[in-house]
Amino acid sequence: MQIRINKYLSDCGIASRRKVEEFILQGRVMVNNKTVGNLSIKIDSENDFVHVDGEVVSIKKHVYYLLNKPKGTITTTKDDKGRTTVVDLIKSDQSIYPIGRLDFNTTGVLLLTNDGNFSYLLSHPKHKVPREYDVKLDRELTEEDRKRLVLGIVLEKKQSRFESITSPQKKNKVLLRVKCYEGKNHFVKRMFASLGYTVISLNRCSYAGLTADIPVGAYRKLSLSEISKITSHYAL
């Protein structure tokens, strides 16, 4: 079967499609012992031999995990300082990687997989996958600033906004729930910081409709119905 090289590599669980494209352009990918640098090249998945950094790769069984990320863990596959990564917390017979990032001390819903298409589906901004966060600020959010953050502000030369900001505890305006579609690093913290607020704690309580329904530090496999619901709702 003929398949584009970037899709093949993502299906092998190497990384997301965008990341494996970087590998190709860096000359780290070989097909039948020849280095390839063309992103549009197609390969025969049954007969061609593909290497990344000298290691042969092949399509693996896709796995999908939901982790309730604890504080003090790194959202990556490896850490050169020897710190615990989110991958260390999951016992899997497949090589997996996190979809997106949560900061070192940010907790909550984190998805991990070896399915590059699934990762691309949930992480690309054009699909508008919702993320919800429980936020604790250093001081009460004024009504004026709440409106500004929802209507939109200029953040690093780009118009950015929260979909909504609610107060689960109506009398406590330090504790908020924020909904957004943006997944860039430190987005929630940078949005509040732009108006002079400091985020004391941050917990992602929902991602793509999935909630942290397990204890902190625990993980579970996504069900077939959950995977199907996500892929059909945010179809490529």
Instruction: For residue 47, give every residue at least 6 positions away whose Cβ sits within 8 Å of its Cβ, in sequence order, or none.
Output: none
> How many Å apart are CA 23 and CA 159, to the nearest integer?
31
Burial of 23 (0-12, 13-18, 19+ CB in 10 A): middle
Q: Indicate which residues carry an active-site annotation.
A: 103
What angle separates helix 17-25 from helix 116-123, to the nearest 10 degrees? 110
Dig out the tokens for 56 from the structure: 């042969």
State the DSSP H helix or E strand holding residue 232, giving kind and residue range, or none if neither: helix 224-233
* CB distance 69 to 108 below 8 Å: yes
Q: Rounded to 5 degrees, what are φ and ψ at 107?
A: -110, 175
Give the span between the Cα atoms of 209 and 132, in whole angstroms: 9
Taking the C-alpha atoms of residue 72 and residue 85, their distance in angstroms, rounded to an integer, is 9
Cα 151 to Cα 87: distance, rounded to the nearest angstrom: 37
Phi, psi of 109 (to 5 degrees): -65, 120
Structure tokens given for 25 = 């352009």
